[in-house]
Amino acid sequence: MPEIKRLTEYTPEVAEAVRGLLVELSRSGKDRGEIPKEWFLEVIDSPYHDLILATNGDAILGMAVVSVTMGAIVRKNVYLEDFVVTERARGQGVGGLIWDEILRWGQEKGAGELEFTSGEGREAAWQFYLNKGAEIYKTNFFKKELHDRN
């Protein structure tokens, strides 16, 4: 049975496993290089962010990055940035365990809603979210680079 935990300590092995999961989530992830150690330390130190991991022994089976966002109407929300289960562990309930921890984390933070996006062509992910009671909210998503990523 996988164990669900929140990242409390940086190790190069965790960084490598997280990068591998992000490459599985988005093939463009492989072009971005390593995730800086500082990112992990910032997540660990922040009360507003967390990295939720599903592990089986030393193997990381899945992960989710969550953050608290603030709004004027619903004062606190949780934003789910990255949610992925490694291909070899899909269909074994790992995603459901991570999902439950995401909801628990949001409740602990006093959040009113969980918000996230899921790209086109991810029908299996969409079905998972719909089965968990999530609604598809019709909107347009915009983004603007604040600085050069180099």
- Give tens-digit pLDDT for 83-105: 999 999 999 999 999 999 999 99
SS3 content of the chain, % helix, strand, coil (to 5): 35, 25, 35
Q: Is residue 56 part of a domain?
A: yes
Q: Is residue 147 part of a domain?
A: no
The CATH number for 15's domain is: 3.40.630.30
- Give tens-digit pLDDT for 117-132: 887 778 888 888 889 9
Q: Is residue 150 part of a domain?
A: no
Separation of alpha carbons 116 and 30, rounded Å: 22
Q: Is residue 65 part of a domain?
A: yes
Q: Is residue 141 part of a domain?
A: no
Separation of alpha carbons 99 and 112, rounded Å: 16
Supply the range of the domain harboring residue 64.
3-131
E-state strands within 2-135: 3-6, 49-56, 59-70, 76-85, 113-116
Beta-bridge mates of residue 68? 78
Global pTM value = 0.85
pLDDT band at 28 (very low <50, low <70, confident <90, very high): low
Judge residue 92's burial from the number of C-beta atoms within 10 Å of its C-beta, 0-12 exposed, 13-18 middle, 19 or more buried. Answer: middle
Q: Is residue 143 part of a domain?
A: no
Least confident segment among 54-63, 73-82, 138-147: 138-147
Element spanning 103, H or E? helix 94-108
Q: Is residue 142 part of a domain?
A: no
- How many domains does the chain divide into? 1
Separation of alpha carbons 118 and 125, rounded Å: 8
